[in-house]
Amino acid sequence: MRKGDENENLTEVIDPRRDLATAVARQSAGASNSAAMADFGQSVIGGVTLARDHLLAITAMLAVAKQRHEEVPEAALRNLEVVAQGLKDIQTQFKAQFLRQLKCMAETPQ
């Protein structure tokens, strides 16, 4: 091994700046990513909770209508549309967040 090669190898092993810069970049990306994921998680939980609440209300309306031998209430149908739209919105948000996550992972130095 030549003297120059030894110095280059030694510099690569000892130079903490490159490792520090990489670590800082990863930590920063990780913190930002964690905050974004926490916000996204709360949004999904809120949307799913709202959909569940609507479904429970629909169930109650249908039970009352059945007991009284009435037709399906219009409010139940409207609530089903609200649930369907809410779930579609969650699906769209999830897909967008997933694509952002993939992009972030591709841009983060390894």
Q: 39 and 97 in contact (C-beta within 8 Å)?
A: no
The residue that leads in pLDDT, 86 or 15, is: 86
What mean pLDDT is predicted for residues 32-53?
A: 88
Domain boundaries, the chain: 3-107
Write the CB contacts of 100 (distance below 8 Å, at least 6 apart in sequence). Answer: 36
Instruction: Give the model's pLDDT for residue 8.
Output: 53
Q: Does residue 12 register a pLDDT over 60?
A: no
The pTM assigned to this predicted structure is: 0.64
The residue with tokens 């190898």 is 9
- Local confidence band at 34 (pLDDT 50, 70, 90 cut-offs): confident
Dig out the tokens for 100 from the structure: 């952002």
Between CA 104 and CA 20 the distance in angstroms is: 20
Give the number of other CB atoms < 10 A from CB of residue 51: 19
Q: Does residue 5 register a pLDDT over 70?
A: no
